[in-house]
Amino acid sequence: MRIDIITVLPEMLSGFVNTSILARAQKKGLAEIYIHDLRDYTKDKHRRVDDYPYGGFAGMVMQCQPIDDCISALKKERDYDEVIFTTPDGETFDQPMANKFSLHQNLIVLCGHYKGIDHRIREHLITKEISIGDYVLTGGEIAAAAIVDSVVRLIPGSISDEQSALSDSFQDSLLSAPVYTRPSNYKGWEVPEILLSGNDAKIKEWEMQQSYERTLKLRPDLLHKD
Ligand code: 6GU
């Protein structure tokens, strides 16, 4: 899978995509992640990529030309399954969306910024508008990072134990059971005895029970989702 991220803040994302699971997935050849500085595509001699909005509204708006040129240059090289735009007024990102994206070959993620982008870009070039929740960030970079992280970790082989992506919270609309590691007694804080019993069937049953109870208590909305 190849992901091309377009941003005015490349330094905000470069450390992120070259760390931990994303770095390993790239080293293993499972994912290629490229960051494109939108300013490299402007024809403005001051490297500006935004301008005042028509209508006299407040804030600045990202212009069509640099975005169009960057996306066109990428599309010339290969076909893209989706051109994603991160924006607070997009569809709320969730696990089923991450699952779907992880099956794609090539994705573009355009990070929103400032007041917004010229709406013609959204009409003509964007295929998917995504928000990561009902709060406002200063830019779409953190949202892009969240999307890329959640998608790449689903590529088989990208996390060591494939099983662990399948048993994630949300993967079957339930929160995960609590987990513990050694020692079994830390300052008198005990690990649930069942986990030390060696009885796999009972442990599985406990895990499912915990998963259900935690979901009922913390996220009852998930139980009515499907
Ligand atoms: Cl995608 N962008 C911004 N600026 N704020 C957000 C968001 C995106 N998702 C939630 N808040």
pLDDT at 163 over 70: no
Q: What pTM, to 2 d.p., does this model score? A: 0.94
Domains 2-152 and 169-223 share a fold: no
Helix (H), strand (E) at residue 45: none
Q: Where are the domains of the chain?
A: 2-152, 169-223
**How far is the C-alpha of 181 from the C-alpha of 16, rounded, in Å?**
28
Query: Any idea which residue has 């969240």 for tokens?
Result: 146
pLDDT at 162 over 80: no
Cα(111) to centroid(ligand 1), Å: 9
pLDDT at 133 over 90: yes
CATH for 2-152, among 3.40.50.1100, 3.40.50.410, 3.40.1280.10, 3.90.870.10? 3.40.1280.10
Cα(72) to centroid(ligand 1), Å: 25
Q: Which atom of ligand 1 is nearest to the CA of 139?
A: 4
End-to-end CA distance of the chain: 29
Query: Any idea which residue has 């796999």 for tokens?
Result: 200
Query: Any idea which residue has 């770095």 for tokens?
Result: 23
Binding site feature residues: 112, 132-137
Q: For the purposes of burial, counting CB atoms within 10 Å of the CB of 185, is it exposed (0-12), middle (13-18) or buried (19 or more)?
A: exposed
130 forms bridges with which residues in the sheet?
91
* CATH superfamily membership of 169-223: tRNA(m1g37)methyltransferase, domain 2 (1.10.1270.20)
Least confident of 46-55, 85-94, 158-167, 203-212: 158-167
Residues 188-216: tens digit of each pLDDT: 999 999 999 999 999 999 999 999 999 99
What are the DSSP calls for 169-192, one per residue? TTTTSSPPPP---S-SEETTEEPP
Residues 59-115: tens digit of each pLDDT: 999 999 999 999 999 999 999 999 999 999 999 999 999 999 999 999 999 999 878
Ligand 1: residues with CB < 6 A are 86-88, 112, 131-133, 135-137, 139-140, 143
Q: Which amino acid is at 66?
A: P
> What ipTM score was computed for the predicted complex, to two decimals?
0.97
